[in-house]
Structure 1
Amino acid sequence: MKIAPSMLSADFSNLKVDIQDVVDAGADYLHIDLMDGKFVPNLSFGPMVYQRIRPFFDLTFDVHMMIDSPESYIEDVSNAGADIITIHVEATNHIHRAIQQIKQLGKKAGVAINPGTPVSAIESILSDVDLVLVMTVNPGFGGQSFIDTTLTKVKQLAVIRKELDYQYEIEVDGGVNETTGKQCLEAGADVLVAGSFVFNHSNRQEAIRLLKAE
């Protein structure tokens, strides 16, 4: 199990130190949320923020684009240092073209689905992606409660991957803690995005250890 602490829950006034702390604690990815206030009802940092911290860290930058028309910003996100770029199927009319755009930039490509979006909406591109992100809360804000019914989609994606020998990782994002993390693992998830559970824990190394143990 890989753990991807969400930078959205870090202390923005102490960002470099906070990220170093979770790196030292055993984080595998750094999950970076880009939000435009349109696709989701919140705003967050743009590529210029993580571009400044990129030189200090070797771990995978896992960038989750929660924005309308992501094609317009994929190149900027890539240039800023993203390793994985994930876009929402709900945010573009041309998901295949957008995935190919990411791959042409030499990055791993991911597709995300909201809690109300079925797996069938992305079946046609599963052979092309490196990661599938299942939102287990409605996107836009940290600290929300896990939506149990989303586990069905994790299970479906695990079955499809096995039956068709696809290579994507299954990532879950939202309401992850040691209890829900275990449920995600049992359903077939490979990567857990954990924001408040890690960054708000009194011992971040213990928080990551708990998630990895599950």
Structure 2
Amino acid sequence: MEKIAASIMCGNQLALGQELLDLQVAGIDWLHCDVMDGVYVNNLAMAPYVLEPIIQIKKFTTDIHLACVDPEKYIEMFAPVQPDYLTFHIETTEEPEALLKKIHGKGIKAGIAINPVTPIEKIFPYLDSLELILVMTVNPGFAGQRFQWPVLEKLERLNSQLDGKKVRPLIEVDGNINAETTASISKIGANLYVVGTSALFNDQAGTYKEKVSQLKQHFVTR
């Protein structure tokens, strides 16, 4: 399964209702929802009251990505809006297993995000305890950064580690995902491609449906 997930933070915040309708028409059924605290990353986004109505329409599978220090605090804050997935950064905690259990205790699927410079092996002890792995291909915080190509080697090691598992967590990639990077990632293996300003929410000609179709042409058939 390979799907496009729209980074709703990058959409037109003055017309989110229309954006959601246009994304549905484009065939997108996953939303990536960035939450930033201004501490772990030098940016702010998105509050529970913003995400709650988006989640409540139940038209999308939603993943809330907590780019925050003190992830336990934010798990408690965002669990009531009941996203499908809550994802925290491995770099922000010394007790990943406890956070995974806390998320599962809220009736939500759990994910771990990992930054480009962090060795992928750091999450290997938790592969049987989570449902999603978010591999950042840029440093979290801002859209439009340069894709970090060495991350592809991490994806190869991750897929090798997952080979043979009866139940595999989803692999999500986020950061300057466009036609070129999608093609390279798909050859290695991923499930979810987070797209934002690089390939979807931009001023380039074409509808969302056309842009999504162009990206999907670069998926490798398995």
Local SS of the residue matching 1:13: coil
Look up the match of 1:147: 148
> Is 1:24 matched with 2:28?
no
Residue 25 of structure 1 deviates from its aligned partner by 0.4
1:197-212 superposed matches below 5 A? 197-200=199-202, 201=204, 202-212=206-216
Does structure 2 retain, via aligned residues, the 8 Å contact 1:126–1:166? no
Residue 128 of structure 1 deviates from its aligned partner by 0.7
Between the aligned partners of 2:56 and 2:35, the Cα distance in structure 1 is 19
Does structure 2 retain, via aligned residues, the 8 Å contact 1:36–1:43? yes
- Count of paired positions: 214
Look up the match of 2:127: 126
Identity, in percent, stands at: 37
Residue 182 of structure 1 deviates from its aligned partner by 1.0
Between the aligned partners of 1:57 and 1:13, the Cα distance in structure 2 is 21
Aligned AA (1:118): P
- Deviating more after overlay: 143-152 vs 200-209: 200-209
Aligned CA-pair RMSD: 1.2
Structure 2 gap segments, 5+ residues each: none
Local SS of the residue matching 2:133: strand
Look up the match of 1:73: 74
Between the aligned partners of 2:215 and 2:82, the Cα distance in structure 1 is 27
Residue 52 of structure 1 deviates from its aligned partner by 2.3
1:109-188 superposed matches below 5 A? 109-188=110-189
Q: Give CA-to-partner distance per residue, 1:108-164, whole Å, 9 cap, x none.
A: 111010000011111110111101110000110011121110011111111111144
Look up the match of 1:41: 42
Structure 1 gap segments, 5+ residues each: none
Residue 166 of structure 1 deviates from its aligned partner by 4.3
Structure 1's consecutive aligned runs of 4 or more residues displaced over 4 angstroms after TM superposition are: none
Aligned AA (1:139): P
Q: TM-score, normalised by structure 1?
A: 0.96
Aligned AA (1:110): G
Closer, same or farther: CA 145–35 of 1 in aligned 2, 3 Å: same
Does structure 2 retain, via aligned residues, the 8 Å contact 1:10–1:19? no
Higher helix share: 1
Residue 91 of structure 1 deviates from its aligned partner by 1.0
Between the aligned partners of 1:90 and 1:36, the Cα distance in structure 2 is 15
